């Protein structure tokens, strides 16, 4: 479900791309340092975006240096110096990925999910100890989400609301002192979570039909076993309207934030990257068929 929030790379300036990659590599290294090298495999664009966003609300200038890493040993890359935002985001990355893997194991008996969750269990316990209240809130919403899915809920809005609430909890970082900024971050996280959940549901229609898995779009719009492509075409405009409205709320929240740096990168992701990703998925050139690397 994760990995949809990414930049529109062709539209990024070369320096901006270098800086964004510097944040990504910084978060990757922070994960390795705090939770072991295996944890670095769990990193995704969504959490890298959160790291960039949180650090962009600080007036402290960007600092970093060129260095090698395990993934790219031959050529030095610019890597941002780790800070409290990298540490917070690495904690949230571990927490989200553990719950995601456990969900796959519990609901689907997915062996990879079970193995992955077992591998991350020690790291998760460490992260949970740092953020017990957030974990409690996330678990409550995951339980509600699981119950709705088991009931075969036919309202995509109702189901998406629970995942959106999880992302709101993740984005409301106490490292940000200003209460208004934290509220705006929460609203941005909520709507990004809603966008991710609905977009992923559309992206998964064929797989969910094949394996008879729950999908709120299938339930709401009543797929009757007819041609899948025709079904997707029949609901595409409605889904696009919902996603477009949700992204407009993301943009409203963003406009309320105090951004001190990296505005070009953030603008690219929020005003272009999310729209490009929406179009790719709705036009069936989505994330399930892509594998990109920084």
Over 60: is that where the pLDDT of 291 sits? no
Over 60: is that where the pLDDT of 166 sits? yes
The tally of domains found in the chain comes to 1
**Considering the chain, what percentage of its residues have pLDDT values greater than 90?**
80
Arithmetic mean of pLDDT, 199-224 = 94
Token output for 188: 């941005």
Tens digit of pLDDT for each residue in 229-240?
A: 999 999 999 999
Over 80: is that where the pLDDT of 171 sits? yes
Arithmetic mean of pLDDT, 198-213 = 94
> Which neighbouring-strand residues pair with 64?
80
44 neighbors 52 (Cβ within 8 angstroms): no
Rounded Cα distance, 90 and 84, in Å: 10
The SS3 call for residue 78 is strand
Supply the CATH number for residue 154's domain: 1.10.600
Over 50: is that where the pLDDT of 276 sits? yes
More confident residue, 287 or 116: 116
* Averaged confidence pLDDT in the chain: 92
Is 3 part of a structural domain of the chain? no
> Which neighbouring-strand residues pair with 66?
78
The SS3 call for residue 66 is strand
Over 60: is that where the pLDDT of 290 sits? no
Is 93 part of a structural domain of the chain? yes
231-267 burial string, b = 16+ CB within 10 Å, else e? bbeebeeebeebbeebbebbeebbeebeeebbeebbb
Over 50: is that where the pLDDT of 289 sits? no
Tens digit of pLDDT for each residue in 62-85?
A: 999 998 877 777 788 999 999 999
* Residue labelled with tokens 């998760």: 124
pLDDT confidence of 293, banded at 50, 70, 90? Answer: low
Q: Which domain holds residue 32?
A: 9-289
Q: State residue 79 phi and psi, 5-degree precision.
A: -125, 125
Rounded Cα distance, 272 and 3, in Å: 16
Is 2 part of a structural domain of the chain? no
Is 4 part of a structural domain of the chain? no
Over 70: is that where the pLDDT of 292 sits? no
Over 70: is that where the pLDDT of 35 sits? yes
Give 16's contacts (C-beta < 8 A, 6+ positions apart): 262, 264, 265, 268
The H-assigned helical ranges of the chain are 14-35, 45-56, 84-108, 111-130, 132-150, 156-171, 179-203, 205-210, 216-221, 228-255, 263-268, 274-282
Is 140 part of a structural domain of the chain? yes
Q: Which of 106-115, 171-180, 256-265, 271-280 has the lowest mean pLDDT?
A: 106-115
Is 294 part of a structural domain of the chain? no
Total-model pTM: 0.93
Is 232 part of a structural domain of the chain? yes
Radius of gyration of the chain (CA): 19
More confident residue, 12 or 111: 12
Is 146 part of a structural domain of the chain? yes
The candidate with the shortest Cα–Cα distance to 3, out of 224, 283, 253, 192, is 192
Over 90: is that where the pLDDT of 106 sits? no
């Amino acid at each position: 479900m994760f990995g949809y929030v990414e930049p529109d790379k062709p539209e990024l300036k070369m320096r901006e791309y270098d800086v964004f990659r510097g944040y990504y590599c910084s978060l990757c290294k922070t994960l390795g340092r705090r939770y072991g090298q295996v944890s670095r495999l769990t990193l995704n664009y969504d959490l890298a975006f959160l790291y960039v966003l949180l650090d962009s609300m600080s007036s402290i200038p960007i600092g970093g240096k060129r260095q090698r890493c395990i993934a790219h040993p031959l050529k030095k890359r610019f890597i941002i110096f780790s800070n409290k935002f990298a540490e917070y985001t690495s904690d949230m990355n571990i927490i989200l990925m553990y719950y995601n893997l456990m969900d796959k194991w519990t609901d689907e008996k997915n062996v990879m999910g079970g193995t992955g969750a077992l591998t991350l269990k020690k790291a998760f316990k460490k992260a949970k100890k740092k953020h017990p209240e957030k974990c409690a809130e996330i678990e409550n919403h995951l339980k509600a989400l699981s119950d709705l899915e088991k009931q075969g809920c036919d309202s995509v809005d109702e189901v998406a609301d629970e995942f959106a609430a999880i992302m709101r909890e993740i984005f409301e970082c106490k490292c940000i002192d200003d209460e208004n900024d934290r509220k705006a971050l929460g609203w941005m996280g909520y709507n990004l979570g809603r966008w991710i959940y609905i977009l992923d549901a559309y992206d998964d229609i064929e797989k969910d039909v094949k394996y008879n898995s729950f999908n709120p779009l299938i339930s709401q719009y009543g797929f009757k076993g007819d041609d899948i492509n025709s079904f997707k075409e029949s609901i595409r405009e409605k889904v696009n309207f919902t996603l477009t409205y949700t992204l407009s709320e993301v943009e409203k929240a963003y406009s309320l934030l105090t951004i001190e740096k990296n505005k070009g990168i953030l603008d690219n992701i929020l005003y272009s990257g999310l729209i490009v990703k929406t179009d790719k998925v709705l036009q069936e050139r989505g994330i399930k068929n892509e594998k990109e690397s920084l």
